[in-house]
Amino acid sequence: MTRSILLLLATASFLFSSSWLNAQSLPQKLSQAFRKFQLDEQLKYAGIGFCVQDASGKTVFQYNENMGLAPASTQKIFTAAAALHELGAAFRYNTGINYAGRIVDTVLNGDLLIHGSGDPTMGSWRYAAQPDTAFFELVWQALKSRNIRRITGDIIGTNAQFSPKPIPDGWIYGDIGNYYGAGSWALNYHENQYDISFDASGKHSSKLPVLATTPEPGIHTFNSFVQLGASGSGDNSVIYAPPYSSMAYVAGTLGKQSKPFTISGSMPFGELSLLDALGNYLVEKGISIDGKPKPSVYYQVNNKQIPAVTGILGNYQSVTLDSVVYWFLQKSINLYGEAMLKTLAVKAGKQGDTDTGAEWLRDFWNTRGIDKNAIRIQDGSGLSPQNRVTALSQVAVLQYALKQNWFNTFYEGLPLIHNIKMKSGTIGGAKGYTGYISDRNGNRYSFSLLVNNYSGMANGVVQKMWALLDVIGNN
């Protein structure tokens, strides 16, 4: 056989092989790629749920689609979609500025009453259109307009419809002292987050004292057991502080560096921090206050009646919900999810607590075709390791969102990760992605890929999950 004939046969064989591969359907390609993914050594002991549907709702591929798995922050899509549907993208949180007593000349003989509605953005630094001091400024202007220069009573938080229990039962001790474990109240401040800075320029293994905390977190005793780690080792510290505690401690290591090392914690009492910061702001503006800040829980614990409103000074409105949902999904702010969950419970005429909100959320999705047993939701953010949802239920949420007038708001909120619009989730041995992906022809698919109990480093699993999803994008 001549060389030219051999070359012709080889070329024909290659072209036949290429055309055969290109002729494979997407389900075939996914099945082949998933088998390789499933047999990877990192996933030897893992639980995997995977579901892909096209825009019409037709299933393209599924595996263990009804297995309940820990979703981590991918669970946020349940809360975000329900909030947009029930509250509306234009919804704003309202904070009432009232008083109890009488205004005589320049004196308010009584109390300043602040009625919160769960606004998680109060004092946040994220919104250019609404500075972090906007609420304080509005209160001051309201007092100034009535020529009030002195308050003889207290600054009181008045909404007792929100539960005094700020965090879900399922959150773990190692999370709740850190910024991502912040609790939620009827009144919140600075996303209930504060920064701690340390001098990280000393000797290896030396103990690092706290340099400063900003803003004031309401922690009177802060014990540092943090040691200086090797240069470049980063943040390996944990802050331990339960809600309502005046004491906290931080342990672990921080990598050596020339500038101060800053980490972020959660304020143990967000409502008190807000009232205290408001009082300080007013005093700086020249208004004297005889009393002190008193959150609503003070009255609940002491079985006292919150003073009745005798006059209205003003009302503060938050940014719109579409902005809240955007940052909730983009930056995975757990506080926002817990606040929205409680808000949904209050809107339903119930107590603003996590359990009531979670049950409402399960009922909401149940009436839209998702079995309540497929979404064992313990919170609004996915931080609890007790959460269990199925890949199919997440795809059902995505498919429902596609048909709603708020879809664009929901879609824009999803982060762009690996050039895919999807929400990620990470929690102790669990990794997940859920969102929308388009193929080369512009066909859009909804998907959920959840992996629990993988082995080795997370980055390795992430790269393999992305490679599996690329099969859709490259189709």
Map out the domains of the chain as residue ranges.
Answer: 26-88+324-473, 92-164+279-316, 190-266
The owner of tokens 């004491």 is: 247
pLDDT at residue number 228: 96
Amino acid identity of residue 255, one-letter, is G
367 pLDDT above the threshold of 90: yes
Distance CA 247, CA 266 (A): 12
Question: What is the residue-wise DSSP string for 144-192?
Answer: HHTT--EE-S-EEE---SB-S--S-TT--HHHHTBGGG----SB--GGG
473 pLDDT above the threshold of 70: yes
pLDDT at residue number 22: 55
Q: Which band of pLDDT confidence, cut at 50, 70 and 90, is reported for residue 16?
A: very low
CB 445 within 8 A of CB 435: no
CATH 3.90.1300.10 fits 92-164+279-316, yes or no: no
pLDDT at residue number 20: 42
pLDDT at residue number 23: 60
257 phi/psi in degrees, rounded to 5: -160, 160
Element (H, E) at 366: helix 354-366
352 pLDDT above the threshold of 70: yes
pLDDT at residue number 24: 87
Q: Do domains 26-88+324-473 and 92-164+279-316 have the same CATH topology?
A: no
Q: Which band of pLDDT confidence, cut at 50, 70 and 90, is reported for residue 2?
A: low
Average pLDDT of the segment spanning 137-159: 97
Distance CA 278, CA 260 (A): 29
Stated pTM of the model: 0.93
The owner of tokens 């408001």 is: 278
CA 227, 228, 234, 236: dihedral to nearest 10 degrees?
A: -10
pLDDT at residue number 355: 97
Percent of the chain past pLDDT 70, that is, above it, reads 95
CB 421 within 8 A of CB 436: yes
459 phi/psi in degrees, rounded to 5: -60, -35
19 pLDDT above the threshold of 80: no
Q: Which band of pLDDT confidence, cut at 50, 70 and 90, is reported for residue 277?
A: very high
Average pLDDT of the segment spanning 140-152: 98
DSSP 8-class letter at 164:
S
Distance CA 146, CA 404 (A): 46
Task: Give the CATH superfamily of 26-88+324-473.
Answer: DD-peptidase/beta-lactamase superfamily (3.40.710.10)
Q: Are strands 375-376 and 92-104 parallel, antiparallel or unpaired?
A: unpaired
Q: What mean pLDDT, rounded, does the chain reach?
A: 94
Q: Of 118-127, 204-213, 278-287, 409-418, where does mean pLDDT reach its minimum?
A: 204-213
Q: Which band of pLDDT confidence, cut at 50, 70 and 90, is reported for residue 52?
A: very high
pLDDT at residue number 160: 86
Q: Of 7-21, 201-215, 437-451, 460-474, where does mean pLDDT reach its minimum?
A: 7-21
